Amino acid sequence: MPPARTASTRVALVVVTSIFFMWGLLTSLNDVLIPHLKAVFDLNYTRAMLVQFAFFGAYLLVSIPAGKVVDRVGYKQGIVIGLLVAGAGALLFLPAAASRSYEVFLGALFILASGIVLLQVSANPYVSLLGDPRHAASRLNLAQAFNSLGHAVSLPLGGMLILGGTVLGADAIAALAPADLAAYQLGQAKAVQIPYAGLALILLALAGGVWAFQLPALREATEAAARQKHRFADVLRHAHVRWGVLAIFLYVGAEVAIGSIMVNYLAQPSIGNMDAATAAERYVVLYPLGAMLGRFLGSALLRRVDVRLMLAAFAGMAALLLGVTMTTEGRVAMWSVIAIGLFNSILFPTIFTLAIERLGPLTEKASSLLVMAIFGGAVVPLLQGAAADRFGVQSSFTVPLLCYVYIAWYAWRGSRVTGTVSAPAPAQAVRA
């Protein structure tokens, strides 16, 4: 029997892009879970942000082991394993809901996020290497646009399925008898079972599809044995990688922090004066939609405009909009914070491609470090949550504002490649 025909790079990009969509959807559901669990378990902002800490904490703990897995099995099998682990994590939401325990929810989120870490370590460099190195930033922005589409789809879907039921206020919950409180918490917790059970089935089906699909198995034009000799210390000797790791940490932290607090922020009487479900379904959804639109536009513009100039301009605009929302009220404050999504658009994929620029055989280890830096999504929201509890939600936006200021500096100075770095070796397709 003749061997199965390997897919073209264009078809492979389409297949992998569907995975970007799925992990965007899963990540953004946290923004719906936070106000839901905050109300159900009567949490303050700091404890509610533990949802993001558990989810993005996986990036700190799992990224380096994930990189070793990808080194051993390759990008394609790394994607398959990541989908299987994420599917298992989604299934764990069923016993988490039955247990009525906030801590069990956090554990399920950690497992789900561990699968997404594997997907990130595998899929981001795979897309960057899947074609002409000169257009790596453009290609990754295009794939990330579908990641943003996943974010956008999850918000109205999650708002309808998870936030659509009646959620009692803190005073009403406190007045419930113990038996009524247990029944209420069980009913609210079960609101997450159907969405996550459906997502688990989709993830497991995707894993089977990718495993059966003949994706090109990419490998840098270097010997595998030579790659194994490099250490993470070799990667960190390059300044543009070190500063890039910090830029990813702060960018993801800022993006997640803003999205996590936005439902509660827009619901405030002085800002949007609306209920949580309306905020999620009609307005917060525009935050990732702006990112999606910006990534489609950015994918085209980055073929013509200097990459570092665009990165600096977009980070600067995000910082400016945060300044506006902090100093105004009503519709101006509301729309300025929503508009940040448009300028978030190109930041992650552009920082990522600048940080792995010309690394050759060091690319895989650099990718692991950059994905590990997504742990910023655990730390920065927690800092903003603590600031919101102490100083108020509006003042707490100072935390992500400082993050965007650093990213603008990275674009202008920190991303410049200095010293001796490997030439950009073309990727080669080999048999899986």
pLDDT at 225: 38
pLDDT higher than 80, residue 282? yes
Q: Please state the rounded mean pLDDT for residues 314-335.
A: 96
Q: Please state the rounded mean pLDDT for residues 108-119.
A: 91
pLDDT higher than 90, residue 245? yes
172: Cβ contacts below 8 Å, ≥ 6 apart: none
Which of 58-62, 188-192, 220-224, 353-357 shows the lowest mean pLDDT across its residues? Answer: 220-224
pTM to 2 decimal places: 0.72
Tell me if 218 sits within 8 A of 78, measured CB to CB: no
Rounded CA separation 27/38 (Å): 17
Domains and CATH numbers, the chain: 9-430 (1.20.1250.20)
Q: Please state the rounded mean pLDDT for residues 350-358.
A: 86
Take residue 12 and report the two structure tokens written for it: 């492979």
User: What is the phi/psi pair of residue 381, to 5°?
Assistant: -60, -35
147: Cβ contacts below 8 Å, ≥ 6 apart: 20, 21, 23, 24
Within 10 angstroms of residue 405's Cβ, the number of other Cβ atoms is: 15
pLDDT at 191: 72
pLDDT higher than 60, residue 5? no
pLDDT higher than 90, residue 297? no
- Residue 276: pLDDT band by 50, 70, 90 thresholds? confident
- Residue 426: pLDDT band by 50, 70, 90 thresholds? very low
Query: Over the stretch 151-210, which tens digit does the pLDDT of each residue have?
Result: 778 767 776 766 655 555 556 666 767 777 767 766 666 677 788 888 899 999 988 888
Query: Over the stretch 359-369, which tens digit does the pLDDT of each residue have?
Result: 777 777 787 88
**CA-based torsion, 332, 335, 340, 346: positive or negative:** negative
Tell me if 207 sits within 8 A of 83, measured CB to CB: yes
**What element of type H or E holds 428?**
strand 427-430
pLDDT at 326: 96
Percent of the chain with pLDDT strictly greater than 90:
26
Tell me which residue has tokens 């190109």.
346
Take residue 91 and report the two structure tokens written for it: 């299934």
pLDDT at 222: 37
Query: Over the stretch 37-77, which tens digit does the pLDDT of each residue have?
Result: 777 777 787 888 788 888 888 888 988 888 888 878 887 88
pLDDT higher than 70, residue 427? no
- Residue 25: pLDDT band by 50, 70, 90 thresholds? confident
Percent of the chain with pLDDT strictly greater than 70:
83
Query: Over the stretch 363-401, which tens digit does the pLDDT of each residue have?
Result: 777 878 888 898 898 899 989 999 999 999 999 999 999
- Residue 85: pLDDT band by 50, 70, 90 thresholds? very high
